Structure 1
Amino acid sequence: MMRSGLTELEAVLAVARLGSFRAAAASLEMSTSALSQAVAALEARIGTRLFHRTTRSVRLTAAGERFVGEVAPAVADIQGALERASEEAGTPSGALRINASAGAAHLAMWPYLVPFLRKYPDVHLDLVTDDRLIDIVREGFDAGIRTADTVPGDMVAVPFGPPIRFAVVGTPDYFARHGRPRTPADLMHHVCVRARMSAGHIYRWEFERRGETLAVETGGTLTLDEPRLMLEAALAGLGLAYVAEFQATEALAAGRLERVLEDWTPPFDRLCLYYPGRRHVPAPLRALVELIREVG
């Protein structure tokens, strides 16, 4: 990562944002000891303690809160000026941190992210997959990738790719033994692979047809929290699974799985790259936005 000459200030702002010396060090590509020394040096120079530190937590002092509130906008302006000056000298470079669900990362990788890295080899892309919907600003990410319906309203959203569609799938042998559901209500009489969401609750399968929407609480002997495992469970004949269509495409084409209730699973939202609306967007992120808009 290119250092800006603002190491001590960047260190304080990163710790304040992330609430952790270790996480802040990782975000700045520094060692934890080097970051701690930078913070301590600044505190010594201004003669004020900026953080309360315990073995379990780090939080700003009252003086630290005032300091961060006054310094953060100025540092952002300086970083923006440095990035703009750097852009004039060549192509985008530096780190770009993106948080995405595993499925979103899969869909974005080959059509968008691989061409982006080939076009801009000086950019280091740090793609973190997490099915939890997080605050990307608080956790130090430049952008996120999620379906449009989950993007926070205060973010700039750039839609891309086709609408996401889900599918209810099972093996031919399963349907031979148990029959085929004709309506979502029929699922109550079938063995289903249940999905546990990151928040801990069991997902209710969602359906829609001609304006009618349903959310069905399915039953089964297996509960999983990872979509690929759900697909593998369906392939093993353990029950019906509700998965993203793209995950089952190969198995459906090969006849290893069959689809039911297709008329109840219309396309839903598209994926979006989203990021905070701020005065200056980092050059690598702006380049990715431009590529996404070109590809569509």
Structure 2
Amino acid sequence: MKSIDIGDLEVFAAIARSGSFRKAATVRGVSASALSQTMRLLEERLGVRLLNRTTRSIALTQAGERLLGRLVPALDQVQEAVDEINSFRQTPSGTVRINAPAPAVEHILAPLINSFLKEYPEISLEIISDAAKVDIVAEGFDAGVRFGKQLARDMIAVPLGPSLRYVVVGSPDYFAKYGAPQNPADLLTHVCIRQRFPGGTIFTWEFEKARKKETITPEGRLTLNDARHITQAAVDGLGLARVLEDFVRPLLSDHRLVEVLADWSPRIPSWYLYYPSRRHTPVALRVFLDFIRRNSHSNPANADQAIPNQMS
């Protein structure tokens, strides 16, 4: 059997982990066709098929499963060995890939980017704005940002920033025409701007007051998937919106929007940056985590939390 390049084995592992040539190609920064060619040559050298391909999906063969099971720990050890050498460098280097929803990027991560890149000139950041639930390991990310209740098991979580608050807002013109709701049930008679998540579900509006909870499924003719567009629609008087307070604070201050049901909108926990609780954390990620701990304005108890099971 011809010698096998470790890079080709890494390509196979990336495809198998992500379940997609396209996703693996995105992570590795090459074309899907290039990965397909690499896999074809690898299978020819090995003399066995590792992947069963269809037009829509891939599946590991029995040989592929056996190889992946032995290969992943070995590749992880190689990466750890290389990364340990990185720790001897005076200036840390590497790339940190983060998956985060747009609000967390805009209000938490983006304000820190300039300072981080200046402090660590040999570390690259890749931040992907995405509200969908993703497997950060399979998708090739080093860390993700989500609400606590959305964190997967076996993750380490670092709180980011202060607690959050969803607010219901509308324009002065809207309230002059339709009046203001006095309790969540009144929203059923109002025009609401709906938000659809990447998975297809409609964002439900949850309220709480004096331990009483109410959930409203908003109704309206306009459905959007971006909080910035929803906010602009509310400013334009197209209906009521429920968005994070961070998005609309300036608009509330200059009275382009007005908040209602404030006493039904309690604060909720902050965003969390989370990463796998594996034994070895790459140097670039460790440096980024240390920077976040120093610079995020979260609760005083800003210690990492292990998430052994799904949070609720």
- TM-score calculated relative to the size of structure 2: 0.87
3-state DSSP of counterpart to 1:198: coil
Partner of 1:27: 27
Counterpart residue type for residue 279 of structure 2: R
1:50 matched to 2:32? The reply is no
* CA apart distance, 1:145: 0.7
1:120 matched to 2:139? The reply is no
Partner of 1:63: 63
1:175 matched to 2:162? The reply is no
Counterpart residue type for residue 205 of structure 2: W
* CA apart distance, 1:68: 0.7
* CA apart distance, 1:109: 2.5
Moved more, 29-38 or 279-288: 29-38
Query: Could you report, residue by residue, the CA deviation over 1:233-274 in whole angstroms, capped at 9, with x for unpaired residues?
Result: 110111111111010011111111111111111111211111
3-state DSSP of counterpart to 2:87: helix
Counterpart residue type for residue 193 of structure 1: I
Distance 1:154 1:295 in 2: 25
Contact (CA 8 Å) 1:112, 1:291: kept in 2 or not? no
Partner of 2:141: 141
Partner of 1:197: 197
Partner of 2:234: 234
Distance 1:52 1:218 in 2: 44
Number of equivalent positions: 292
Moved more, 38-47 or 262-271: 38-47
Contact (CA 8 Å) 1:8, 1:38: kept in 2 or not? yes
Partner of 2:294: 294
Counterpart residue type for residue 199 of structure 1: G
CA gap 1:267/1:114 in 2 versus in 1, 3 angstroms: farther
- TM-score calculated relative to the size of structure 1: 0.91
* CA apart distance, 1:88: 0.7
* CA apart distance, 1:221: 2.5
Contact (CA 8 Å) 2:24, 2:139: kept in 1 or not? no
Contact (CA 8 Å) 1:149, 1:269: kept in 2 or not? no
- % same residue: 46
Partner of 1:247: 247
Distance 1:227 1:7 in 2: 41
CA gap 1:29/1:92 in 2 versus in 1, 3 angstroms: farther
1:83 matched to 2:59? The reply is no
Distance 2:32 2:243 in 1: 41
* CA apart distance, 1:33: 5.0
Query: Could you report, residue by residue, the CA deviation over 1:82-131 in whole angstroms, capped at 9, with x for unpaired residues?
Result: 01112212322222211111111112233433322222222222211111
Contact (CA 8 Å) 1:154, 1:276: kept in 2 or not? yes
Partner of 1:159: 159
3-state DSSP of counterpart to 1:88: coil
3-state DSSP of counterpart to 1:201: coil
Distance 1:217 1:41 in 2: 53
Moved more, 111-120 or 83-92: 111-120
Distance 2:36 2:176 in 1: 64
Partner of 1:263: 263
Counterpart residue type for residue 260 of structure 1: V
Q: In angstroms, what is the RMSD of aligned CA positions?
A: 1.9
Q: Structure 2 unaligned runs (5+)?
A: 297-312
Q: Structure 1 unaligned runs (5+)?
A: none
Partner of 2:307: none
Distance 2:195 2:36 in 1: 42
Moved more, 174-183 or 236-245: 174-183
CA gap 1:21/1:217 in 2 versus in 1, 3 angstroms: closer
Counterpart residue type for residue 114 of structure 2: V
* CA apart distance, 1:277: 1.1
CA gap 1:237/1:52 in 2 versus in 1, 3 angstroms: same
Distance 2:35 2:224 in 1: 40
Distance 2:101 2:93 in 1: 25
